Amino acid sequence: MKKSLTYKILEKNLIEGIFKCGEEISVKVNQTLTQDSTGTMVYLQLEAMDINKIQTDLSVAYIDHNTLQQGFENADDHEFIKSVASKYGIIFSKAGNGICHQLHLERFGKPGSILIGSDSHTPTCGALGMISIGAGGLDVAIGMAKGYYYLKVPKVLNIELKGSLNKWTSAKDVILYILKELSVKGGVGYIIEYSGDGIKELSLTDRATITNMGAELGATTSIFPSDEITKDFLTRQNRSEDFISMEADEDAFYDKKIIIDLSLITPMVAKPHSPDNVDKICNMEKIKIDQVAIGSCTNSSYTDLMKVAKILKDKKVHENVSLVISPGSSNILKMLSDNGALGDLIKAGARVLEATCGPCIGMGQAPKTNAISLRTFNRNFKGRCGTSNGQVYLVSPETAAASAIAGYLIDPSTLGNPPVIDLPHKFQVHNNYFIFPNHNENKTEVIMGPNIKPFPINKPLCHKLEGKVLLKTGDNITTDDIMPSNGKLLPFRSNIPKLSDYAFGTICDNFKDICTQYGGGFIIGGHNYGQGSSREHAALVPLYLGVKAVIAKSFARIHKANLINVGIIPLEFKDPHSYDHFSFTHNLIIDNIIYQLENNCEILILNESRNKEIPLIFNGSKRDMEILKAGGYMNYAKKI
């Protein structure tokens, strides 16, 4: 059978397992990345494994999320991560160096390799022709400690791009169009592999925008072939030696195929409060805007920001609009400074932030009450911007810049000819924000501040689970709902007890009190439970509060893995209509749970409050079951 690019790379790095769709395999982890919002927990877990050195070819710890230092907490976390990085030979990227995904794309990603990262937008590096998977922090810690990562052999969805992009239509419009067609659940269970003559229309950073937002489709990851465009990018980044050609066989087998004509795509917008709530801008009414934010790991490349600078040159940001710009890396910011584009942005009235995630995660630049905010980011979940009633629309950099001048959402294709960007022969590369490991140093002391608390560890699974329904949710519950993320809470990512005060804060005011009152219990969820960020805090906090199992119609991939990793059982309704048989405070009992898991049979749960037995399913591997029996991945890994 002729092979997809996806299968070629997975087979190249296969350690063990049967290479058959749906079967669990382990693959070599070539590279890992962490960021500081999830990294503290990753490195606490790495420390708990008591290893001498990491097993990856390269690992990088980026500081890019929690860079507002209003108290000691963030700075202490950064010092802890820096000390662990020194101890284990991990590259440390200081605050201000840039956003992990943009930096990794520029400096370290390699075609044909496997990267896992403790951030859901790790698939950005799929633009280089590498398998780049967002994973839970414990998976990344074990990837560093043991050198492997387990996954089920995925189905592969081929999206063939044909035709040419219209003027003013960008890669952001392409991925928004795909989200409109497939929805936030459309990529679940798939790796998305792009092909076709249309990919020649897309620069490497265009491709990165598309693979980045594949996370919003629910896909395991997304990937483009490594071709002449990849070679050109790596050469300009002074990394030509990292290039290898990687592509699918002609007439490769795919589980599903979609053909998209680029010429049919016009400037698009994702309306509140979901990345798949997409429409053509030309269909929209005239909407007055209050804020424009350009950047994030999705659209902060040199090309993106140069387009913005050219659109804004000799223009003025509308008096009623606040425009903020977050460059993707310090290299990009320096090039903008050196070529005069930074001056054009400032002259137009833009606020230029340091090269960090910032507003994308609610870390600063929260819009005013009831504001309309246009953002080039990847998510517009309710409250994520830091203002609970803010209305966030996702658009391309071109649309954002044109709208910042107009004062309302505008279709940029009405403006005449789009800007043309000439790439530098060589991108500037400097290392002054990196701390590279010195393998000749003595063993480094790990420094832990008072805000860093131990992560909770589960006990081995008992034979009987009993408890109340603590919460019943609807469909598409995000990890932002489960464990809210904003400037107020991000400094406590290393403090699970403190974070537990805010669990499910977007949908329930007193979840912790309920858990305390009933001594833990069960959560009932709808479809796509746990979509969004990879943050394992959305599993660690429920564990800390005594949640024993989550029963849902379906789960998002990373969150389901995180639940298993901490020892919370993710169960699915055999019949989705059974969801209707459960209500808040119903008493539930699962007897002989270990026997039922081991024998791969239906798992029967008794709703004692209705005297009704409901069949459930555990969709997991034998290894997943053993992890749950052990009380989580940490306990399991110590035994092997």
pLDDT tens for each residue of 341-381: 999 999 999 999 999 988 888 778 889 999 999 999 999 98
Whether the CA torsion 353, 358, 364, 365 is positive or negative: it is: positive
Least confident span in 258-267, 362-371, 463-472: 362-371
The model's pLDDT over 178-234, given as tens digits with 9 standing for 90+, comes to 999 999 999 999 999 999 999 999 999 999 999 999 999 999 999 999 999 999 999
pLDDT for residue 360: 83
Q: What is the predicted pLDDT for the residue at 440? A: 60
What is the fold, at CATH topology level, of the domain defined by 5-264? Aconitase; domain 3 (3.30.499)
pLDDT over 80 at 389, yes or no? yes
What is the spatial distance between Cα 385 and Cα 59, in angstroms, rounded to a whole number? Answer: 30
Preceding omega of 273 cis (within 30 degrees of 0): yes
Distance CA 207, CA 101 (A): 13
Nearest to 34 by CA among 95, 92, 109, 102: 92
Task: For residues 550-555, give the mean pLDDT.
Answer: 97
Is pLDDT larger for residue 411 or for residue 37?
411
Distance (Å, rounded) from C-alpha 224 to C-alpha 196?
10
Average pLDDT, the chain: 94
- Residues ≥6 apart with Cβ < 8 Å to 73: 449, 451, 491, 492, 494, 495
pLDDT band at residue 96, thresholds of 50, 70 and 90?
Answer: very high
3-state secondary structure of 28: strand
Rounded to two decimals, what is the model's pTM? 0.91
pLDDT band at 447 (very low <50, low <70, confident <90, very high): very high
Higher-pLDDT residue of 323 and 137 is 323
Contact 395, 403 (CB under 8 A): yes
pLDDT range class, residue 535, cuts 50, 70, 90: confident
Confidence of residue 4 (pLDDT cuts 50, 70, 90): very high
Kindly list the strands in the beta sheet with 155-162, ordered across the sheet, starting from the edge strand earlier in the chain. 221-223, 190-195, 155-162, 256-261
Tell me the pLDDT band of 37, cut-offs 50, 70 and 90.
confident
Residue 417 CB-density burial (10 A; 0-12 exposed, 13-18 middle, 19+ buried): exposed
Q: How many CA atoms lie within 13 Å of 206's alpha carbon, on the beta-carbon side? A: 16
Confidence label for 50 from pLDDT (cuts 50, 70 and 90): confident
Token pair 């140093």 in the structure block, residue: 441
Beta strands at 256-261 and 221-223: parallel, antiparallel or unpaired: unpaired
Return the pLDDT at 165: 96
Residue with tokens 């479809």: 527
**Measured CA distances, 309 to 103, 234, 324, 399 (Å):** 21, 24, 12, 13
Judged by DSSP in three states, 15 sits in: strand
Residue 442 confidence class, pLDDT cut points 50, 70, 90? low
Count CB atoms within 10 A of the CB of residue 18.
10
| CATH number belonging to domain 268-411 | 3.30.499.10
Single-letter amino acid code for the residue at 67: T
Per-residue pLDDT at 331: 95
The strand pair at 521-525 and 465-472 is best described as parallel
Q: What is the 3-state secondary structure (H, E, C) of 533-585?
A: CCCCHHHHHHHHCCEEEEEECCECHHHHHHHHHHCCEEEEECCHHHHHHCCCC
Q: At CA 126, angle to CA 125 and CA 129, rounded to 5? A: 110
The CATH number given to 465-635 is 3.20.19.10
Predicted confidence (pLDDT) at residue 167 exceeds the cutoff of 80: yes
8 Å CB contact between 46 and 84: yes
Higher pLDDT, residue 68 or 622: 622
- pLDDT tens profile 483-510: 987 778 878 888 999 999 999 998 998 9
- In angstroms, rounded to a whole number, what is the distance separating the alpha carbons of residues 493 and 387? 20
> Using 50, 70 and 90 to split pLDDT, how confident is the model at 155?
very high
In the chain, where does the domain assigned CATH 3.30.499.10 lie?
5-264, 268-411
The amino acid at residue 343 is G
Average pLDDT of span 259-264: 97
- Name the residue type at position 564: I
Determine the Cα–Cα distance for residues 407 and 469; give it in Å rounded to an integer: 48
Cα–Cα distance for residue pair 412/165, rounded to 1 Å: 14
pLDDT at residue 345, rounded to an integer: 98
Instruction: Please give the pLDDT value at position 12.
Output: 95
CATH 3.20.19.10 range(s) for the chain read 465-635
What pLDDT score was predicted for residue 371?
95
Taking 60 as the threshold, does the pLDDT of residue 382 lie above it? Answer: yes
* pLDDT value of residue 441: 58
> Can you tell me whether residue 442 is helix, strand or coil?
coil
Q: What is the pLDDT of residue 122?
A: 97
What was the pLDDT predicted at 444? 78
- Answer whether 206's CB lies under 8 Å from 169's CB: no
Please give the pLDDT value at position 148. 95
